[in-house]
Amino acid sequence: MNLITETPLWFCLFCIFAGLVYSFILYRKDKSLNEISVWLVRLMATFRFIVISILAFFLLSPLLKTINRNIEKPVIIVAQDNSESIIVGKDSSFYKKEYKQNLKKLIDNLNDKYEVRTYSFADKIKELKSPDSLKFNEKQTDISSLFDEIETRYSNRNVGAVILATDGLYNKGSNPIYSSDKIKVPVYTIALGDTTVKKDIILSKVNANRLAYLGNQFPIELVINAKQLKGKTTTLTINKGTATLFTQTINFNSDAFITTIPVLLDAKEVGLQHYKIKLSTLPEEMSFSNNDRDVFVDVLDARQKILILADAPHPDVAALKESIESNQNYEVESYMIDNFDKPLKKYNLIILYQLPNVRNPSSKIINEINTANIPVWAFSGASSILKSNLSITNANQKANEAEAVLDKNFPLFTISDELRKAVKDFPAVTCPFGTYGTENSSNTLIYQRIGIVETKTPFMYFNSVGDNKMAIVEGEGIWRWRLQDFAAHGNHNLFDELVSKTVQYLSVKVDKSFFKIIGKNNFLENEAIEMEGEVYNESYELINEPEVNITITNSENKIFPFTFSKTSNAYRLNAGMMPVGEYKYEAKVKVGDKMYTQNGTFSVSALQVELINTVADHQMLYSLAKKHNGEMVYPTDLENLVKKLNTRDDIKSVSYSEKKLTDLINLKWIFFLLLTLLTFEWFMRKRNGSN
């Protein structure tokens, strides 16, 4: 401990001199103290001298320099695998009881000499307060994230060693051998689990799309393993409710059997569909829990209905219809205008071919389209020129033969490089001769090239009327493009791309609802159920003043009510993890006097990756320990692990010095000392009649 000042320490003499002069003058001139004992006067003068000297000394800005020497014990990190694979097999009772006691004893023995930090890892990394809290029920193992966490938390600490207790099986993250490069301390591994290959049938992988469309078939790919069961058989079944959709007998022709089975199922019902995939069990199997899997598929009725209306038959109409129908998500109907009498509301897009025109104004159809706010793709012929507001401008009967030129900066959707190259070779089409007037908001996809001159006259362009989208083609003869595509490439893929992207852009409606719930339709069982909500006012501005409530109902009709929390301008819900199954929800919000409701469904799927591979990988644990100058031990030999650590010379305590500078004026005891001296002096002076 040292005392330092900003000025030389010999300045302290002036502080002492100031205290002496002040006390001498004060008590020399005070005649009222003549009758008091001399020793008492001298005592009070001494108090005043001390106070003044210290206060004067504070003017030198004195600092108290202290050096603390600390001794830090080595930190031993014990990380315990808490995943399901630890207790798969016949020795599960050992890990649930005896092993926990051995681990607790190991930690207690290490605490005598080291600072021990304990963690459990699998899905997440958590501090382990006691081995008794281990449940071995987590669904995934990520050892690489454990090493990342250790590096982050203990990068500047005196870490002596890392003790990793696991079976060596990981199914998330990178290989621990490589991800441990950042760990620069000895690593000891406790080899859990069993390396014996036991008899088992495993449904190791199920590949299926989360979405399917009504009326379509969707694939499911199954990967099946069997160990030590040569000559045995199992039966694969796929059920939906009580109905069996698929069955197949599988013969195991080796002790290390693996096969992939593709299955096609029909999407016959709309909504979230639950399929149960199961392999029949054999009595000698090590575990039955990896023989089945639940699959949830959301079947959507998303087929867009497209209507083509024409004034007369034309090969362009046939080319459009065939191209659109090549996409199973579209359902196309085509009619001559004189034979059509159906309502238009059910259609997502209407294609008007050479309608309206001089002979057939089609005013009823046009009015109904405008009223229903339906997107339109209009084709103008030689008898008319169609503007974006669906009005007719008279034109003469002349026409130009024009080739197509794509706009490189077209912003509404992307065009593949193959289509851009192919358009240059498309044959000429017939375009009406006249004055083309497009609105400023129009986006032109294709311009006309007449001869060798590339004009800025549009052939195909897009516009919007309010929220409604519109495309206009000023000409006819695109059926030639389809034939050219087939002649050049043996298919119609590029022409179909142009048509499909146009239809997709026009038919997709912007969601303008005032209340939205946003979230996934499928969660894994170790995931929290998270959703977001958005509420809009009449001006379609985001608001979050009203409360948003939601009720989630499981398949047994048990209800779970929640309230969304508010963010800056929206809502968020974290409902935590839920059991495997199917759920439906109903969310409500009241804005003013209006009540908005949103309904939906979601599923929670089982995560069984821990049950796919049940043979412990002790070789990986041995290699990991050797790489980091440690050793691999078994769970029955934990007492020797303490001895191995105690005999290492590189695991020892470290001492370090910590320097600290403190303003002397901030020390509270000095304040109370001065206060006490002044108080005593003041009391004695008053008692003896002095001012």
What CATH number is associated with residue 585?
2.60.40.1220
Give residue 575's domain range: 515-605
Instruction: List the single range of 146-160, 238-252, 386-400, 660-674 with lowest mean pLDDT.
Output: 386-400
Same domain, 249 and 144: no
Q: Which of 461, 462, 473 is nearest to 432 (CA)?
A: 473
Calculated CA dihedral for residues 637, 641, 647, 653, nearest 10 degrees: -160
Residue type, 506: L
Q: Which of 278, 300, 322 is the last residue of a domain?
A: 300
| 70 or 182, greater pLDDT | 182
pLDDT reading at 139 higher than 70: yes
Q: Which residue has the tokens 């990520």?
A: 142
- Residue 346: the pLDDT is 87
Same domain, 415 and 279: no
Read off the tokens for 610: 């821990």
Q: What's 127's domain CATH number? A: 3.40.50.410
Same domain, 224 and 253: yes
CA distance 99 to 635: 7
Instruction: List the single range of 58-72, 349-363, 525-539, 549-563 with lowest mean pLDDT.
Output: 58-72
Average of per-residue pLDDT across 603-615: 82
Q: Which of 300, 325, 349 is the last residue of a domain?
A: 300
Average of per-residue pLDDT across 269-275: 87
Average of per-residue pLDDT across 356-380: 87
List, for residues 498-532, the tens digit of each pLDDT value.
999 999 899 887 777 899 999 988 898 889 999 99
Average of per-residue pLDDT across 173-186: 91
Average of per-residue pLDDT across 633-637: 91
- Residue 302: the pLDDT is 67
pLDDT reading at 436 higher than 60: yes
Q: How confident is the model at residue 392 (pLDDT cuts 50, 70, 90)?
A: very low
Same domain, 172 and 206: no
List, for residues 304-351, the tens digit of each pLDDT value.
899 999 989 999 999 999 999 988 778 899 999 989 989 898 899 999
Q: What's 328's domain CATH number? A: 3.40.50.880
Read off the tokens for 18: 């100031």
Asked whether the beta carbons of 372 and 349 are under 8 A apart, the reply is no
CA distance 467 to 504: 16
Same domain, 434 and 336: yes
Q: Is 610 within a domain?
A: no
Residue type, 231: G
pLDDT reading at 29 higher than 70: no
Count of alpha carbons within 13 angstroms of residue 430, beta-carbon side: 14
pLDDT reading at 381 higher than 50: yes
Name the domain count of the chain. Answer: 5
Q: Is 654 within a domain?
A: no
Q: Which of 578, 518, 581, 582 is nearest to 548 (CA)?
A: 518
CA distances to 293, 342, 575, 609 from 602, in Å: 17, 37, 13, 21
Average of per-residue pLDDT across 543-553: 95
Q: Which of 507, 538, 564 is the last residue of a domain?
A: 507
Read off the tokens for 373: 């706010």
- Residue 386: the pLDDT is 52
Q: How confident is the model at residue 395 (pLDDT cuts 50, 70, 90)?
A: very low
Same domain, 321 and 461: yes
Q: How confident is the model at residue 164 (pLDDT cuts 50, 70, 90)?
A: very high
Q: Is 656 within a domain?
A: no
Residue % of the chain over a pLDDT of 70: 94
Q: How confident is the model at residue 1 (pLDDT cuts 50, 70, 90)?
A: low
Q: Is 231 within a domain?
A: yes
Same domain, 381 and 491: yes
Instruction: Tell me what the pLDDT averaged over the chain comes to.
Output: 88
* E strand segments, 267-322: 271-279, 292-300, 304-310
Residue type, 422: A
* E strand segments, 407-487: 429-432, 443-450, 453-465, 468-474
pLDDT reading at 391 higher than 50: no
